Amino acid sequence: MRPIARRALELGTENAFVVLGEVERLQQQGKDIVSFCIGQPDMPTPEHIRMAGIKAITEGRTGYTASPGLPALRQAVADYFTRTRGVTITPDEVVCGCGGKPFIGYSILSVTDHGQGHEVIYPNPGFPIYQTQVIAHGAVPVPLPLREGKGFRFDLDELKSKLNSKTRLLILCSPHNPTGSTLSKSDIDDVARIIAPYENLWVYTDEVYSGLVYDGAFHSIVSIPGMKERTILADSASKTYSMTGWRIGYAANAALAPYFTRWVTNTDSCPPHPNQYAVIEALNASQAPSDHMRGIFHERRDRIVKGLNQIPGFSCQTPGGAFYVWPNVTEACRMVGAANSEEFRKMLLNDAGVAVLADIHFGSVIPGEGEHVRFSYASSFEAIDEGLRRITEFIQRKKR
């Protein structure tokens, strides 16, 4: 066989889709699976947004656009950022792409050089694409542990210890995937203060769940004086508007916008043309459908947290945002004889018919932090209740 490049051979993946494939295979075999593995709203894209996309198609708006997106979309994003982040963003600072995920790679490619030892700090556990993209693009991955004792936020002293002259990018994610934790105003104030002396350091703030905060207000580090210039503000329509498959995301930074535009030209050419009109409608029209969806997720959060804490061997904190919970299952693993969370996850799937993700799907194991699994509660109340029932029955049946 002809050789395959090492970067391709070693490229990691997003295991939510791997487990989803396992679920689908079992379902094709006739097995009934309650799935909590995929982070995707189960509600349809609101009708007025769908109709805007359909209208664009029927009017023939199906060709190329400028790489950073339609002027009307960049204006809509700039207005949205300005009213939700407490800082003025102009359309020239905005670049739109095929979802939020590409901007992770574009940012790493734009602020680090391959093989130069440039470091990228990212949360662990965290969205797995952070680490895979850092490695694939020749930078050095530096995981920053999120501690259960701190509500799955990082320790400021640990952040300080990881900063040096080689640090080029700090990735923040709030609300956070997979734990659902959120950064407070004091948290981001402290981060801004700690990184201030490092003039070569950029910040990538992943805010795709910013519309799904349940306790208190959402806070973005971009709003802190002096941070806008060095911060890449990234968001997408996927979660807030239930538009995961429409693949429209956006990022804002004045200095990097021209380079992001060039990366879009080199990869996707432009965002999907008709879909841009749908997102213009989403951002500019009434936000009532998104507010309604957030209210439903809030109820689901409370339901699943209460239910998980009633299951023997489970301990679950209440997350502040997103639609994930990250229960500690160390005792549950011991009770059923599972060596770790991944073995426990497989037991739940095959013996109980419940699909979740394990902590190893979101980074390296943190010594002393125990075993965790992720549930996505972007599913119905009925599915939540049935999944909890199955897990409870499984623990009772298998416990030693």
**Residue 232: what pLDDT?**
98
**CATH 3.90.1150.10 segments of the chain:** 6-44+289-398
Residues found in the chain: 400
Would the pLDDT of 16 be above 90?
A: no
Mean pLDDT of 309-334: 98
**Residue 22: what pLDDT?**
84
Mean pLDDT of 275-296: 97
Sign of CA dihedral 325, 279, 249, 220: negative
**Residue 224: what pLDDT?**
97
**Residue 39: what pLDDT?**
86
Of 200, 203, 201, the closest CA to residue 223 belongs to: 203
Is the separation of the CB atoms in 133 and 263 below 8 Å? no
C-alpha 126: how far from its chain's center? Answer: 8
Q: Provide the CATH topology of domain 6-44+289-398.
A: Aspartate Aminotransferase, domain 1 (3.90.1150)
Tokens of 298: 């809030």
Q: Is residue 41 very low, low, confident or very high in pLDDT (cuts 50, 70, 90)?
A: very high
Q: Is residue 134 very low, low, confident or very high in pLDDT (cuts 50, 70, 90)?
A: very high
Helix/strand/coil for 52: helix
Would the pLDDT of 2 be above 80?
A: yes
Angle between helices 257-267 and 102-111 (to 10 degrees): 120
In the CATH hierarchy, which top-level class contains the domain 48-284? alpha beta
Cα-based distances in Å from 47 to 44, 101, 271: 8, 25, 21
**Residue 61: what pLDDT?**
98
**Residue 10: what pLDDT?**
85
**Residue 321: what pLDDT?**
98
Q: Is residue 292 very low, low, confident or very high in pLDDT (cuts 50, 70, 90)?
A: very high
Mean pLDDT of 47-57: 98
Is the separation of the CB atoms in 154 and 171 below 8 Å? no
**Residue 296: what pLDDT?**
97
**Residue 18: what pLDDT?**
79
Tokens of 371: 């075993």
> Looking at 7-21, 109-123, 198-212, 362-376, which range is the least confident one?
7-21
If one counts every other C-beta atom within 10 angstroms of the C-beta of residue 17, the result is 10
Q: What is the pLDDT of residues 167-224, one digit of tens each?
A: 999 999 999 999 999 999 999 999 999 999 999 999 999 999 999 999 989 999 999 9
**CATH 3.40.640.10 segments of the chain:** 48-284
Cα-based distances in Å from 231 to 65, 154, 304: 26, 19, 35
Rg (CA), the chain: 21
**Residue 106: what pLDDT?**
98
Percent of the chain whose pLDDT exceeds 90: 91
Mean pLDDT of 289-317: 98
Residue 71 buriedness (CB in 10 A; 0-12 / 13-18 / 19+): exposed
Strands 324-325, 373-376: pairing kind: antiparallel
Give the separation between CA 231 and CA 222, rounded to whole angstroms.
6
Q: Is residue 34 very low, low, confident or very high in pLDDT (cuts 50, 70, 90)?
A: very high
Helix/strand/coil for 149: helix
**Residue 169: what pLDDT?**
98
Would the pLDDT of 120 be above 90?
A: yes
Give the separation between CA 237 and CA 284, rounded to whole angstroms.
12
Would the pLDDT of 95 be above 90?
A: yes
C-alpha 217: how far from its chain's center? Answer: 19
Q: What is the pLDDT of residues 264-279, one digit of tens each?
A: 999 999 999 999 999 9
Mean pLDDT of 8-27: 82
Is the separation of the CB atoms in 311 and 288 below 8 Å? no
Return all residues near 15 (Cβ < 8 A) that are at least 6 apart: 128, 357, 361
Residue 197 buriedness (CB in 10 A; 0-12 / 13-18 / 19+): exposed
Give the separation between CA 13 and CA 394, rounded to whole angstroms.
30
User: At 172, which helix (H) or strand (E)?
Assistant: strand 167-173
Predicted TM-score of the model (pTM): 0.95
What is the DSSP track for 244-255?
GGG--EEEE-TT
Strands 357-358, 373-376: pairing kind: antiparallel
Is the separation of the CB atoms in 232 and 256 below 8 Å? yes
Mean pLDDT of the chain: 96
Return all residues near 398 (Cβ < 8 A) that are at least 6 apart: 335, 336, 337, 347, 351
